[in-house]
Structure 1
Amino acid sequence: MNYLAHLYLSGESEKMLVGNFIGDYVKGRQYKSYPDEIAAGILLHRHIDHFTDIHPLHKEAKVLFREDFGHYAGIVVDFIYDHFLAVNWNNYSDTSLRWFAKRSHSVLLSNFKHLPLRVQGFLPFLIQNRRLESYATIEGIIQSMHIMGKYSSLPSKAPVAESILRANYETLGLNFKTFMQELMHYVTTEFDVTLELPLASGQPTP
C-alpha cells in the first residue's frame, strides 16, 4: 500500500501514524531505536505490506501492469489503490479527505525529529503540493508516479500506467474494494487498530 492507505490504517494513534508513514525508510532492527508506539507503527507497516504482497487480489491486479513494469508492478498497484481509497474516501471515513490530510501533516510535522532524513527531505513538498488529496484524481496519482519515476528505479512509464488504469478502471475499483475490506478486517482484528468508519456496522458502503 502507498502513503494514504498506511496513514489511514494507523487508526487514532498519532505515534502509530508516524511509524506507519516512515515504515519503508526504517530497515531491519532499526525500529528498536524508536519510541515504543512509533516502533509499533513501523511493524504494522511491515505487516500491511506482507498482507498486501501475498494477497491474491493484489497479485491479480499486478498482472495488468507486469508486462510494462516487471517486478515494479506491485508499486504501481499500490499507487492505484491509494487513488481508489481517495476517490471513495467518504465510504471509509466520517471526516473529509482534506481534514485527514491536514491532521496527518500536523502530526508528522510535530514529530519531525523522529522522521528519517529522506522523509524530512520530501515531506515539505508532499504537504505543499497537497499530494495526499491529489490522489483522488487520475491525474494526481499519475503525477505522483511520474515524480517517483524520476527519483527512483520505478520505470518512467506513467502514461502507460494511466492507459492501463483507464482501460480497466471498473475492474480495478472492484478489486480494491474487496481487498480493502479484507485488509481493514486484518488490521482491526489482529492489531487492535480503531478506524473512524462512516457506518456503525464497521464496513464501507457499497
Structure 2
Amino acid sequence: MNYLAHLFLSPDDPELLLGSLIADFTRGRLETLARDWSPGVMRGIALHRQVDRFTDDHPRVIRARRRIAAPYRRYSGIILDILFDHFLSRYWAEFTRRDRGEFIRDVYRLLEQRREQLPARLHALVPRMRREDWLGSYRELEVVGLVFERMATRLRQPNELGGALVEVRRHYPELAEDFRYFFPELIEFVQRQQEQTDRQ
C-alpha cells in the first residue's frame, strides 16, 4: 500500500492520519517509537504495519505479484504499491461516498498545519508532495510510469523498474480485478482491527 491507500484506510482522526504517513518514515519497535509520538500517532503507525502485513500475505496480492514477469518481478512489491494507489483513485466511488478531491485537500491541509511535528524527511517532502499532487496525480497511468522512472533512479543497483509500465499495461485488467477483489477485504480487516482497539 502507498500513501493514498494508507490515508484512506486510516480512521478520520488527525493523529491517526498522521501516523499512517509517519510510519513510512520511522523504523524500530513500537515500544521504542512510543517515546517520541502521541498515542494517536502510534495507533496510526501500528495500523499501517498491520495493513502492510495483511496486504503482503493476501492470496490475491500474491497472485498479482506473480503476474509481473522478469525482469520486473523483483520490484513487484514497489510496482503494486504504486499501482494500488492508482486503482484506488480510479475506483474510489466503489469504496466511499466521500469526494476524493476534498479528502486529498484535507490531507494536504493537515500536513501543512502539523508540518513542524513530522519526521525530518517527511517534513522536507510536504511542499513537493503538495506541489506535484502525489496523492491525486496517480490516477493517471502515465504519471504512474513517471513514478516508476523516478524510483528507479533512487535504487542503488542498475534496474529495470523505470520500464515497468509496459508490464503493467500487459496485465492491467487482471491487476485491476485483483485490486477490486482484495481491497474490500482489506477495508473489512481494518474495521475489525479498529473495533478491537476501541474495545480495549
Shorter-chain TM-score above 0.5: yes
Q: State the SS of the aligned residue for 1:52.
A: helix
Structure 1's unaligned 5+ residue stretches are 194-206
User: d(CA) in 2 for partners of 1:177 and 1:77?
Assistant: 13
Task: Tell me which residue corresponds to 1:113.
Answer: 116
- Does residue 157 (structure 1) correspond to residue 161 (structure 2)? The answer is yes
Q: Give the Å deviation of 1:142.
A: 1.7
Task: Tell me which residue corresponds to 2:87.
Answer: 84
CA root-mean-square deviation: 1.8
Change (3 A) 1:15 1:174: same
C-alpha contact (below 8 Å) 1:66/1:72 kept by paired residues:
no
Q: Give the Å deviation of 1:4.
A: 0.6
User: d(CA) in 2 for partners of 1:163 and 1:48?
Assistant: 28
User: d(CA) in 2 for partners of 1:17 and 1:57?
Assistant: 26
The 5 Å alignment of 1:15-164 reads 15-29=15-29, 30-32=32-34, 33-65=36-68, 67-153=70-156, 155-159=159-163, 161-164=164-167
User: d(CA) in 2 for partners of 1:184 and 1:89?
Assistant: 13
User: d(CA) in 1 for partners of 2:50 and 2:58?
Assistant: 12
> Structure 2 length as normaliser, TM-score?
0.89
Q: Which of 165, 168, 171 is 1:168 aligned to? A: 171
Structure 2's unaligned 5+ residue stretches are none
Q: Give the Å deviation of 1:151.
A: 2.6
> Structure 1 length as normaliser, TM-score?
0.86
- Does residue 187 (structure 1) correspond to residue 165 (structure 2)? The answer is no
- Identity across matched positions, percent: 29
